């Protein structure tokens, strides 16, 4: 097996690859590779283990050559891969479902609590030396208990978010793309908090735009931990600036790592750099799963995480 790995990954997973591969190149980079570096690294490989922000398309497959048999994605989302083109070329694509579900659900709640209880603003203020003591009207946020949570995308992660809502005695509304637009609009109108967990597809791109933010309550909060292009970032900035919604918590952005400059000036948003699955335990599990997926496919063994059965 001749394999290219586009980033350093946790040691245990690296060892799995080192033990099994005849040839293994690990890109020595902590940041996303340029297209040129990705293509050079791919040349002549049987398998490539890529990150969710490495693009795998016809150009990469051409650069790799006809022997390429597997793209293993270190991510559950596969919007970075041209699956149809991979399938046409009989390249198996795998991903890492399940292992990051609880961790991403936790992060959703961390963002929701942080923005509604003004944790980041409060932290900045506490450090600034400006605090003169407790007052009844300082940094007032919003209660969560007993309110309505709208979950957009009720798959594994959305369901795990809903389970946690039971602890806050919340009413939960859910929407998946299989439901109707009417149900989506009801969720927009009635939710106090909306969390987003849909995959990025042509159907979910800009699912949240001007019109959707207008339908939300002016006291509602928007939380996206799925993929940035599911929201229209300029429309979100306008909605926040004009107080058409109360706040937002974002783990993902339309053009990562760029963040709309309008978001940076706002106090009622919490912004974090795509940390949904970022715990030691989960990144270790994802790495092992991605390494095992790649080896199973290249060895012709059954693999449970194939996105495009050939």
- Burial label for 197, CB within 10 Å (0-12, 13-18, 19+), is buried
Query: How many other CB atoms are found less than 10 A from the CB of residue 195?
Result: 27
* Residue 88 annotated to the active site: no
**Which CB sits closer to ligand DGY, 46 or 233?**
233
User: Which region among 18-26, 75-83, 210-218, 259-267 touches ligand DGY (by CB under 6 A)?
Assistant: 75-83
> What φ, ψ does residue 290 adopt, rounded to 5°?
-65, -40
Q: Which of 85, 185, 210, 256 is catalytic?
A: 256
* Catalytic site residue from 227, 231, 244, 260: 227
The nearest distance, CB 28 to ligand DGY, in angstroms, is: 21
Q: Tell me the C-alpha to C-alpha distance, in Å, between residue 209 and each of 184, 200, 234, 239.
A: 13, 15, 9, 9
Select the span of 73-81, 125-133, 208-216, 299-307 touching ligand DGY (CB under 6 A).
73-81
The interface region with ligand DGY, picked from 7-15, 41-49, 74-82, 163-171 by CB under 6 A, is 74-82
Least distance CB 300 / ligand DGY (angstroms): 26
User: How many residues line the site for ligand DGY (CB under 6 A)?
Assistant: 7
79 binds ligand DGY (CB under 6 A): no
Query: Which of the stretches 71-79, 160-168, 178-186, 296-304 binds ligand DGY when contact is defined by CB under 6 A?
Result: 71-79
Footprint (CB under 6 A) of ligand DGY, residues 239-278? 276-277
In this structure, are residues 66 and 43 in contact, taking their beta carbons and an 8 Å threshold? Answer: no
Among 67, 64, 22, smallest CA distance to 43 is for: 64
CA 269, CA 216: separation in Å to the nearest integer?
16
Distance, in Å, from the CA atom of 286 to the CA atom of 270, rounded to the nearest integer, reads: 26
C-alpha dihedral (122, 126, 127, 133), degrees to nearest 10: 160
- For the chain, what is the radius of gyration of the CA atoms? 21
Residue 103 or residue 191: which is nearer to ligand DGY going by CB? 103
**Active-site residue 274, yes or no?**
yes
- Under a CB-based contact definition with an 8 Å cutoff, are residues 265 and 40 in contact? no
Nearer residue to ligand DGY within complex by CB, 107 or 149: 107
Burial 50-85 (b: 16+ CB within 10 A, else e): bbbbbebeeebbebbeeebbbbbbbbbbbbbbbeee
Is-contact 192 217, C-beta < 8 A?
yes
Cβ-proximal residue to ligand DGY, closest one: 52
Tell me, yes or no, if 231 is annotated catalytic. Answer: no
DSSP-derived secondary structure letter, 203: T
Query: Binders of ligand DGY among 99-138, rule CB under 6 A?
Result: 100
Site string for ligand DGY, 171-210 (x = CB under 6 A): ----------------------------------------
Of the candidate residues 32, 52, 228, 247, the single one contacting ligand DGY (CB under 6 A) = 52
Q: Which of 77, 150, 153, 229 binds ligand DGY (CB under 6 A)?
A: 77
Q: Which of 89, 156, 206, 274 is labelled catalytic?
A: 274
Enzyme catalytic residues: 227, 256, 274
Please report, as ranges, the residues that interact with ligand DGY according to CB under 6 A.
52, 75-77, 100, 276-277
């Amino acid at each position: 097996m001749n394999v290219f790995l586009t980033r350093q990954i946790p040691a245990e997973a690296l060892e799995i690859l080192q033990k099994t591969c005849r040839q293994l190149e690990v890109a020595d980079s902590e940041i996303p590779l340029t297209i040129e570096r990705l293509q050079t690294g791919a040349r002549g490989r049987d398998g490539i283990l890529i990150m969710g922000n490495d693009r795998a398309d016809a150009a990469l497959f051409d650069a790799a050559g006809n022997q390429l048999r597997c793209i293993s994605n270190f991510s559950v989302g596969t919007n970075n891969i041209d699956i149809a083109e991979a399938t046409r070329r009989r390249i198996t694509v795998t991903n890492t479902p399940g292992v990051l579900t609880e961790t991403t659900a936790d992060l959703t709640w961390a963002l929701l609590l942080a923005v509604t209880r003004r944790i980041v603003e409060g932290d900045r203020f506490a450090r600034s030396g400006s605090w003169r003591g407790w007052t009844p009207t300082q940094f007032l946020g919003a209660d969560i208990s007993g309110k309505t949570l709208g979950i957009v995308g009720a798959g594994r992660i959305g369901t795990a978010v809903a389970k946690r809502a039971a602890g806050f005695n919340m009413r939960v509304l859910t929407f998946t793309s299989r439901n109707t637009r009417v149900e989506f609009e009801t969720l927009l109108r009635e939710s106090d908090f909306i969390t987003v967990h849909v995959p990025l597809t042509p159907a979910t791109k800009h699912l949240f735009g001007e019109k959707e933010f207008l339908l939300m309550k002016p006291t509602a909060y928007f939380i996206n931990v799925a993929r940035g292009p599911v929201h229209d970032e300029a429309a979100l900035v306008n909605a926040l600036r004009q107080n058409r919604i109360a706040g937002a918590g974002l783990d993902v952005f339309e053009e990562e790592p760029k963040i709309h400059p309008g978001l940076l000036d706002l106090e009622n948003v919490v912004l974090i750099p795509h940390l949904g699955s970022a715990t030691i335990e989960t990144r270790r599990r994802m790495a092992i799963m991605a390494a095992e997926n790649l080896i199973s496919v290249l060895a012709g063994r059954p693999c449970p995480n194939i996105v495009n059965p050939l």
